[in-house]
Amino acid sequence: MAAKILLIALLAMASSLAMASDPSPLQDFCVADKNSKVLVNGFVCKDPKQVTAEDFFSMGLDKAGNTENKVGSMVTAVNVNKLVGLNTLGISMVRIDYAPKGLNPPHTHPRATEILTVIEGQLLVGFVTSNSDDGNRLFTKMLKKGDVFVFPEGLIHFQFNPGNCNTIAIGALSSQNPGTITIANAVFGSKPPISDDVLAKAFQVDKNTIDWLQAQFWTDNNN
């Protein structure tokens, strides 16, 4: 009997974990009420009677992002923070502009898979798998106009424009608010900084190198 109870408990736990991701919407829409002071996982719904077409509308993706920064790229996002109608719908998108030799540096989206297509130009793209028996495997591909590549949720990935012309890409992400963690910014630009003893040990370099890296200005290329 005790074994049966334990088995049932384990199955119940597994079932609850399997359903722990964002649930499907329970109504046609739940436009985010950005003025509500109630804190929930996401945003409180706006009164449906107050919803208008403007809540499902955004503009500006026809305009190029400013790539005059250290990495030579700019990400223009359309997520729930800019388009309130995306709340609970589990989707968002980005336009990414790359100057010649521009880089969208290694980063992750902790809450989303990303699918990306090149609109103009070319890109060297890739992602690295998590720690495993096979090691951190790199999957990389050169993309041209019209090509599509997918980056699995949570994995470190990047895009680099190796050409001498500007490149434009459009990405779709499986979350209304995917989040972005740029690896270099997070590790070397955190506030307060991570101990240089910790980073020197982790990267197997001397502390002077870590101190130099932490003193740099780490560009945020997200708009």
Known binding-site residue numbers for Mn(2+): 107, 109, 114, 157
The answer, yes or no, to whether the previous bond of 110 is cis (omega within 30 of 0) is no
Determine whether 118 is exposed, middle or buried from the number of CB atoms within 10 Å of its CB (0-12, 13-18, 19+): buried
Element (H, E) at 63: none
Residues at the annotated binding site? 104, 107, 109, 114, 157
- Tell me the β-bridge partners of 157: 107, 127
Q: Quick check: 158 and 107 in contact, CB under 8 A?
A: yes
What is the CB-side half-sphere exposure of residue 126 using CA atoms within 13 A? 15
Query: Which tokens belong to 192?
Result: 């307060």
**Angle at the Cα of 164 from the Cα atoms of 160 and 165, rounded to 5 degrees:** 85
Helix (H) or strand (E) holding 5: helix 2-18
Measured distance CA(168)–CA(158) in Å, rounded: 14
Binding residue positions for oxalate: 104, 109, 114
Token digits of residue 56: 């499902």
